[in-house]
Amino acid sequence: MSDALRRLTPDDLAALVALESAGQPHPWREATLAAALADPGYELWGVVDDAQTLIGYAALSRLPFDAELQAITVAPAARRRGIASRLLERVLARAAGWGSERLLLEVRESNLAARSLYAALGFGVDGRRRGYYPLPDGGSEAAVLMSRALSPTAG
């Protein structure tokens, strides 16, 4: 038994919407996910389990000199199994293969588990955007801006 990593296609939209809704407090809309799947400047990578259920995905966008991790979600029941690490390793390889100089991302300041994972994979803090993410009480919290330098490779 092994989870499979593969590039997602428009045929995966329904599963992607379900995963995003289950795994994120502020999920991307279906139209946003559909647009990302259709955009040649994006690659969405997913992990499917033995039952072919999508249990994690990452959205990578190609920029002129860098690449950006736009989203990463793992199903709540599948967390703490290394899925996010596999997805991040894949997008790091793809971004390097594109010749990107850095992989950029932003994360909620309160998301200590994700920040710890990013730091373990060599991402450093570049700054903060105050008041970027909404909170349920009507307040907001900062986004932590992180990046990792890349070396060009075959991706």
Q: In this structure, what token pair is assigned to residue 137?
A: 């009480």
Q: Average pLDDT per run of 10 along the chain, which is 155 residues long?
A: 88 95 86 95 95 94 96 92 95 95 95 94 96 86 95 62
Superfamily of chain region 4-149: Gcn5-related N-acetyltransferase (GNAT) (3.40.630.30)
| The pLDDT value given to residue 154 | 47
- What's the token pair of residue 146? 């992180």
Rg (CA), the chain: 15
Instruction: Enumerate residues 6+ apart whose C-beta is below 8 A from 9.
Output: 37
- Where along the chain do its domains lie? 4-149
Distances in Å between the Cα of 25 and the Cα atoms of 19, 98, 131 are 11, 31, 17
What confidence score (pLDDT) does residue 153 get? 62
Q: What distance in Å separates the CA atoms of residue 37 and residue 13, rounded to the nearest whole number?
A: 8
How far apart CA 84 and CA 106 sit, in angstroms, is: 15
- Sequence-distant (6+) residues with CB within 8 A of 79 are none
Pairing state between β 140-149 and 102-108: antiparallel
pTM: 0.89
User: To 10 degrees, what angle do helices 13-23 and 30-38 make?
Assistant: 130
| DSSP type of residue 1 | -
99: left (phi over 0), alpha (psi -120 to 50) or beta: left
Provide the 3-class DSSP secondary structure of residue 86.
helix
